[in-house]
């Protein structure tokens, strides 16, 4: 991975996070840039042909930070569709950067697998949310503040959808659990009060 970090975050920690949670997909040709955003709380972009991913973080973000995701099922109401914005709470800027990276990585994998790249925002959010829920115990809440049942958001075989992008011998190897990644990524106590901030990823 060609990696550059222009923020105050630890480069070694970010790089290890990204490499670890790219598995089992190849990362050698990826070009990843982490930098501060000009205005938005966060954003990301993926350039398919170059394998280039940009991760932009707001300088003034306060943590824990609430991300309004698009992981819920879309529901039809006659003439229109509606999707509830489930809220994912991340502890720090490293987890926010990982969410953005995984979101943009899935865009890259969709293209690498030869799939249509249009209308994949919800799938990208699910791909990112799954790691943060499973490996970092980040809570995913509905509009009432209740934990969202797994079946309500994790209902797609995302790895199967992009399986053509993974080396055959690595396709069935799981990523390590949070307990296996050492003190570098030890859990940080969460603040009691969290103020939801509606944001979206801009591509």
Domain residue limits, the chain: 2-157
Helices (H), 77-198: 93-112, 121-136, 158-161
* pTM of the model as a whole: 0.80
pLDDT value at position 190? 39
Identify whether the C-beta of residue 146 lies closer than 8 Å to the C-beta of residue 139: no
**Helix (H) or strand (E) run with residue 75 in it:** strand 75-76
Q: Report pLDDT for 185.
A: 40
Closest CA to 74 of 86, 66, 62, 65: 86
Query: In this structure, what token pair is assigned to residue 49?
Result: 């042909």
Structure confidence at residue 174 (pLDDT): 53
Q: Answer for the pair 27, 15: CB distance below 8 angstroms, yes or no.
A: no
Compute how many other C-beta atoms are within 10 angstroms of the C-beta atom of residue 137.
Answer: 11
Does 194 score more than 60 pLDDT? no
Q: Is the pLDDT of residue 181 over 90?
A: no
Q: What is the pLDDT of residue 138?
A: 97
Please answer whether residues 64 and 91 qualify as being in contact, where contact means their C-beta atoms are separated by less than 8 angstroms. Answer: yes
Does the structure show a pLDDT above 50 at 195?
no
Q: What is the mean pLDDT of the chain?
A: 84
Q: What are phi and psi of 86, to 5 degrees?
A: -70, 140
Please state the rounded mean pLDDT for residues 73-89.
81
For residue 160, give both structure tokens.
């199967």
Give yes or no for residue 186 having a pLDDT over 60.
no
For residues 7, 46, 176, 171, the Cα torsion angle rounded to the nearest 10 degrees is -160
Task: Quote the pLDDT of residue 199.
Answer: 46
Answer yes or no: are the C-beta atoms of 24 and 170 closer than 8 Å. yes
In the three-class reduction of DSSP (H, G, I as helix; E, B as strand; rest coil), residue 44 is classed as: strand
Tell me the pLDDT band of 79, cut-offs 50, 70 and 90: confident
Q: How many residues does the chain have?
A: 203
Do 137 and 187 meet the contact criterion of CB atoms below 8 Å apart?
yes
Please give the pLDDT value at position 59: 93
**CA 147/CA 116 separation, integer angstroms:** 32
């Amino acid at each position: 991975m060609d990696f550059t970090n222009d923020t105050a975050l630890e480069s070694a920690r970010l790089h290890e996070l990204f490499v670890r949670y790219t598995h089992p997909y190849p990362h050698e040709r990826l070009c990843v840039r982490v930098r501060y955003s000009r205005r938005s709380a966060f954003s990301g972009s993926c350039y398919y042909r170059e394998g280039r991913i940009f991760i932009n973080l707001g300088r003034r973000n306060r943590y824990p930070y609430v991300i309004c995701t698009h992981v819920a099922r879309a529901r039809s109401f006659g003439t229109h569709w509606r999707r509830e914005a489930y809220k994912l709470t991340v502890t720090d800027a490293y987890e926010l950067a990982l969410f953005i990276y995984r979101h943009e990585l899935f865009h890259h994998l969709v293209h690498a697998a030869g799939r249509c790249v249009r209308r994949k925002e919800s799938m990208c959010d699910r791909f990112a949310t799954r790691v943060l829920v499973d490996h970092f115990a980040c809570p995913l809440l509905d509009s009432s503040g209740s934990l969202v049942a797994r079946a309500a958001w994790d209902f797609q075989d995302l790895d199967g959808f992009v399986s053509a992008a993974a080396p055959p011998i690595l396709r069935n190897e799981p990523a390590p659990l949070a307990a296996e990644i050492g003190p570098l990524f030890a859990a940080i106590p969460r603040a009691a009060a969290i103020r939801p901030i509606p944001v979206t990823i801009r591509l």
